[in-house]
Structure 1
């Protein structure tokens, strides 16, 4: 079992080009699945796994109190794995083919108001190299809508300030070019002149755009810690996640009349239905404004 799993992981990394977080998620899910199957006599060989074994595993997850979202993710991992085994001729059938994912209520993403975004962007103290860096990171996130994982992977040669765009590598190793506005360009220029040079360490070279105080590329956890601190400084009471500025970027664009397809391309969504969730956010916000300010609401 383990050797087949490693073959699949290799496939995800080399052929699919998935990010480390995605690969780790597949591996965790499938290890749980394999652990359950070891208790099933008929599942010692992958070719003997039946639909009932998979449904039994999903029932087991439900009995443990796992959420619909977690179970749906396991279903997706199992389905991809069995399709891989079939394609590689390890098995002669795919027992996951008619397994349905649990239905989930799609929650609307939480977004900041424009005033809250302004407060957050003004929170960093620009008197220090780290403060200049923090300001630049927030401005780039809000100007481009890129994911935090994409932000921290940006390299020096991914930024083209004279031409006004950044190049980022997203999910599936796909490249996209995203325009950045005047404000973000000015803040980045200041960071590259007054911030980053003071964070560089001679003993090792790191071409990451955003560096920590050790002169190395910033981690996702490092950014998350910075964001929470700046949110407190800005007195933002809403729950913030690393995706909050991305959600706000998309929502504010659509509220101001941006084309849905253009927003989809900038966000790097494969399916436009993923982007359409933001149109629901704008409608909800319009209803809130109407209810609050219309005299006969």
Structure 2
């Protein structure tokens, strides 16, 4: 249940608890909360545990430059650090620090690892359920593993063959395709989830976890069948925030472990994991001639430049160039 917010004191005393409390009051996602707190804590430790209110632009610049020069972080990571500190100082502490002048990270071209169609199918064939069906959705619908695991019964539209993704990266919703080849097993998975739901109700297990805004808007919805995760965990567990015993979704660490084992068994030599299926989904669609804007929408990318990186890994044999060694 590592995507459920941990409880906070009603009147937080510690600075980071106060920051977390403020983030939740202002409806930041729990993922953003975890990220921002992580970087603020690292910033404080970098400055020998000095209180942030005694620091300002000089220390922030030094930390951002350190991340670029010594830690060699990517521009996107440096931007996240800046956003975290900006939120912490300017919005939470209401302490302005003026203009910043720091060493900016340089974008280094990164080409994502991609399975061939044969490799993807080979790895999937070696997986057991539910990891097999989960990875088929990653490859067949372009989902992130966290998105696949958070699918609820209501999110599957078998008439239109659509999956609705809620609270994806950037807290955005989107729709993507539901692979026809997964339909029958998804229906079976819903039956499994429904049986566990009925058993849990008889045993007094609590309702499915709901994000705070939804739990207020749809009071009691977590007790309805349609709100249950289609990939439920094997056993109910205690909610770290409320103490309620409830059944959460299958853990993504299990999927990562199973994919790693299957890739080794299939003798895949490239660095890969569950996210490689999503990279492969995008690349293979582009290779088949689908419009890049369509692929962008299915992936949920806000900027088409993010999708364009898959053009660099398309199977074009060195951009159509024939090696001199291969000329007859």
Instruction: Bin the TM-score by the shorter chain.
Output: 0.7 to 0.9
Q: 1:89 to 1:219 in 2, by over 3 A?
A: closer
Residue deviations 1:210-264 (CA, integer Å, cap 9, x gap): 1243364111112112222332343333221221000000000001111111111
Unaligned 5+ residue runs, structure 1? 125-130
2:86 to 78, 82, 94: 82
Name 1:116's counterpart in structure 2.
119
- TM-superposed deviation, 1:73: 2.0
The answer as to whether partners of 1:132 and 1:191 remain within 8 angstroms in 2 is no
1:286 counterpart SS class: coil
Unaligned 5+ residue runs, structure 2? 1-12, 209-227, 237-246
Name 1:67's counterpart in structure 2.
72
2:190 equivalent to 1:182: no
Name 1:24's counterpart in structure 2.
34
Q: CA RMSD in A?
A: 3.3
Q: 1:55 to 1:28 in 2, by over 3 A?
A: same
TM value normalised by structure 1? 0.78
2:46 to 36, 44, 47: 36
Name 1:99's counterpart in structure 2.
102
Structure 1 window deviating more from structure 2 (237-246 vs 10-19): it is: 10-19
State the distance in 2 between where 1:95 and 1:37 align.
Answer: 20
Q: 1:9 to 1:292 in 2, by over 3 A?
A: farther
Name 1:54's counterpart in structure 2.
60
The answer as to whether partners of 2:151 and 2:165 remain within 8 angstroms in 1 is yes
Name 2:230's counterpart in structure 1.
209
The answer as to whether partners of 1:136 and 1:191 remain within 8 angstroms in 2 is no
Name 2:8's counterpart in structure 1.
none
- TM-superposed deviation, 1:118: 1.6
- TM-superposed deviation, 1:74: 4.5
State the distance in 1 between where 2:170 and 2:56 align.
Answer: 29
State the distance in 1 between where 2:163 and 2:266 align.
Answer: 27
1:244 to 265, 276, 285: 276
Residue deviations 1:192-222 (CA, integer Å, cap 9, x gap): 45x5567665343651111243364111112
TM value normalised by structure 2? 0.72
State the distance in 1 between where 2:65 and 2:150 align.
Answer: 39
Aligned length: 280
User: Higher helix fraction: Structure 1 or Structure 2?
Assistant: 1
The answer as to whether partners of 1:146 and 1:246 remain within 8 angstroms in 2 is yes
The answer as to whether partners of 1:8 and 1:81 remain within 8 angstroms in 2 is no
Residue deviations 1:91-137 (CA, integer Å, cap 9, x gap): 244344x435311312100000011112122223xxxxxx3433321
Structure 1 window deviating more from structure 2 (233-242 vs 86-95): it is: 86-95
State the distance in 1 between where 2:150 and 2:53 align.
Answer: 40
